[in-house]
């Protein structure tokens, strides 16, 4: 019996060691992702458009560090600080990025058939762009890359001359811009609820004051939707995709119940109270020079403004519209 116990313990120890070894040897999520891209498309050029400062800077550092072990001839990484180099108006500086990746694009070509339907050229790689939401900076960058590739394709099949560009043909240029801008807006509306930012550059080839004002409007709308509407949308998506199933048995948990404060928390109500208190404070201040009681009232209204604002800031999470549906145990 003792011998059998020792063998069982030894066997268990070996299984634990093998389990730990498999954990250490298992490729990272990023590595698996890029291997999947290589399997589907061939070589991959990862173009990182995030900032180098703040929260985006930390994301950039982690991305660059994580991808470093898998860099090779077939996996390249290029960082381009879009906001620092291009700012909000100088998107023509994207040509600096194109100069860095031009050799890759030419080396990995594009798919091409001759007039007989025979394949004479095959695409051997793709460009993987990312910013934060992969909507705005990414869309502008992909528009530039697609334009350059389209020009080289039209030159090769002799629709364009050797040095011709799309801008030489105004009608075609306008159609290309509108097509790409509509494409970007459609994806952005589905994902964020607003058209893409920087759309005026994609649509018209230049930034405008109206475009910048539109970006401000869209950014505010995204902030509102993200905090006060997207939770319900996410619950609906989870329900439609089968990630959450309404309770039909004891095994399935109901949606998360809100706490006492959260049940009555409302950003709209808080904003209305602060606005009302601010208005009454200003009205009281106007009469404070004639009546000390108004000065006291104005201080009380000011205190109410500050108190509500502080409470909302301290408990901001309970004022947002978060997903509440539990996900089922399905993968």
| pLDDT at residue 275, as a whole number | 85
Is residue 297 located within the same domain as residue 224? no
Is residue 207 located within the same domain as residue 278? no
The total of structural domains in the chain comes to: 2
User: Which residues fall within 8 angstroms of residue 49, CB to CB, at 6 or more apart?
Assistant: 80, 81, 82, 129, 130, 131, 137, 138, 141
Residue 146 lies in a domain: yes
Q: Determine the Cα–Cα distance for residues 22 and 4; give it in Å rounded to an integer.
A: 27
Residue 331 has pLDDT above 50, yes or no: no
Is residue 266 located within the same domain as residue 331? yes
Is residue 201 located within the same domain as residue 317? no
Residue 253 has pLDDT above 60, yes or no: no
Is residue 165 located within the same domain as residue 67? yes
Per-residue burial over 262-285, b = 16 or more CB atoms within 10 Å of its CB, e = otherwise: beebebeebeebbeebeebbeebb
Share of the chain above pLDDT 90, in %: 47
Q: Comparing 179 with 244, which gets the higher pLDDT?
A: 179
Terminal CA-to-CA distance of the chain, rounded, Å? Answer: 43
Residue 16 lies in a domain: no
Residue 159 has pLDDT above 50, yes or no: yes
Per-residue pLDDT, averaged over 207-223, amounts to 91
What are the contacts of 102-105 at 24+ separation with CB within 8 A?
104/43, 104/45, 104/76, 105/145, 105/148, 105/149
Is residue 43 located within the same domain as residue 176? yes
User: Which residues fall within 8 angstroms of residue 82, CB to CB, at 6 or more apart?
Assistant: 49, 50, 51, 131, 137, 140, 141
Is residue 33 located within the same domain as residue 113? yes
Look up the domain containing 122 and give its range. 28-229
Is residue 259 located within the same domain as residue 220? no
| pLDDT at residue 51, as a whole number | 94
Provide the sign of the torsion angle of the four alpha carbons 131, 137, 138, 141, taken in this order: negative
Residue 120 has pLDDT above 60, yes or no: yes
Per-residue pLDDT, averaged over 111-124, amounts to 92
Residue 276 has pLDDT above 70, yes or no: yes
Q: Determine the Cα–Cα distance for residues 181 and 200; give it in Å rounded to an integer.
A: 8
Is residue 162 located within the same domain as residue 289? no
pLDDT in tens, 5-27: 655 666 566 656 655 544 444 56
Task: Output the DSSP codes for 52-90.
Answer: SSHHHHHHHHHHHHHHGGG-SSSEEEEE--HHHHHTTT-
Q: Determine the Cα–Cα distance for residues 277 and 285; give it in Å rounded to an integer.
A: 12
Residue 207 has pLDDT above 50, yes or no: yes
Per-residue pLDDT, averaged over 181-199, amounts to 90
Residue 319 has pLDDT above 80, yes or no: no
| DSSP 8-state assignment for residue 259 | -
pLDDT in tens, 264-274: 567 777 778 88
Backbone φ and ψ of 79, nearest 5°? -105, 135
Residue 21 lies in a domain: no
pLDDT in tens, 49-64: 999 998 899 999 999 9
Residue 75 has pLDDT above 70, yes or no: yes
| pLDDT at residue 314, as a whole number | 80
**Lowest mean pLDDT, pick from 126-130, 147-151, 175-179, 276-280:** 276-280
Share of the chain above pLDDT 70, in %: 84
Is residue 86 located within the same domain as residue 207? yes
Cα–Cα separations (whole angstroms), residue 82 to 49, 132, 300: 5, 12, 48
Residue 1 lies in a domain: no
Yes or no: say if 118 and 92 are a contact pair by the CB < 8 Å rule. no
Mean pLDDT of the chain: 84
| pLDDT at residue 38, as a whole number | 96
Is residue 294 located within the same domain as residue 161? no
Residue 181 has pLDDT above 50, yes or no: yes
Q: Determine the Cα–Cα distance for residues 34 and 140; give it in Å rounded to an integer.
A: 23
pLDDT in tens, 85-113: 998 888 999 999 999 999 999 999 999 99
Is residue 171 located within the same domain as residue 317? no
pLDDT band for position 240 (cuts 50, 70, 90): confident
| pLDDT at residue 329, as a whole number | 43
């Amino acid at each position: 019996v003792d011998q059998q116990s020792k063998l069982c313990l030894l066997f268990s120890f070996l299984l634990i060691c093998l389990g730990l070894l498999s954990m250490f040897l298992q490729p990272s999520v990023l590595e698996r992702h890029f291997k999947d891209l290589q399997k589907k498309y061939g070589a991959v050029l990862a173009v990182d458009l995030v900032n180098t400062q703040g929260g985006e800077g930390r994301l950039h550092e982690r991305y660059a560090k994580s991808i470093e072990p898998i860099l090779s001839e077939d996996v390249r990484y290029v960082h381009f600080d879009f906001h620092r180099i291009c700012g909000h108006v100088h998107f023509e500086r994207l040509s600096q990025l194109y100069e860095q990746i031009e050799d890759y694009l030419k080396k990995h070509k594009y798919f091409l058939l001759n007039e007989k339907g025979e394949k004479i050229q095959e695409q051997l790689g793709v460009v993987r762009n990312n910013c934060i939401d992969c909507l705005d900076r990414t869309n502008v960058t992909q528009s530039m890359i697609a334009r350059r590739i389209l020009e080289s394709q039209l030159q090769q099949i002799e629709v364009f001359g050797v040095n011709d560009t799309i801008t030489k043909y105004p009608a075609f240029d306008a159609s290309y811009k509108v097509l790409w801008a509509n494409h970007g807006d459609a994806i952005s509306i589905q994902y964020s609820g607003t058209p893409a930012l920087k759309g005026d550059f994609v649509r018209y080839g230049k930034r405008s004051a109206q475009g910048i004002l539109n970006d401000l409007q869209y950014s505010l709308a995204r902030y509102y939707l993200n905090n006060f509407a997207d939770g319900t949308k996410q619950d609906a998506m989870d329900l439609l995709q089968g990630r959450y199933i309404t309770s039909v048995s004891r095994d399935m948990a109901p949606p998360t119940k809100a706490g006492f404060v959260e049940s009555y928390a409302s950003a709209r109500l808080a904003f209305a109270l602060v606005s009302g208190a601010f208005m009454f404070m200003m009205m009281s201040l106007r009469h404070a020079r004639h009546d000390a009681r108004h000065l006291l009232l104005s201080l009380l209204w000011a205190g109410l403004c500050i108190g509500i604002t502080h409470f909302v800031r301290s408990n901001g999470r309970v004022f947002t519209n978060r997903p509440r549906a539990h996900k089922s145990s399905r993968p």
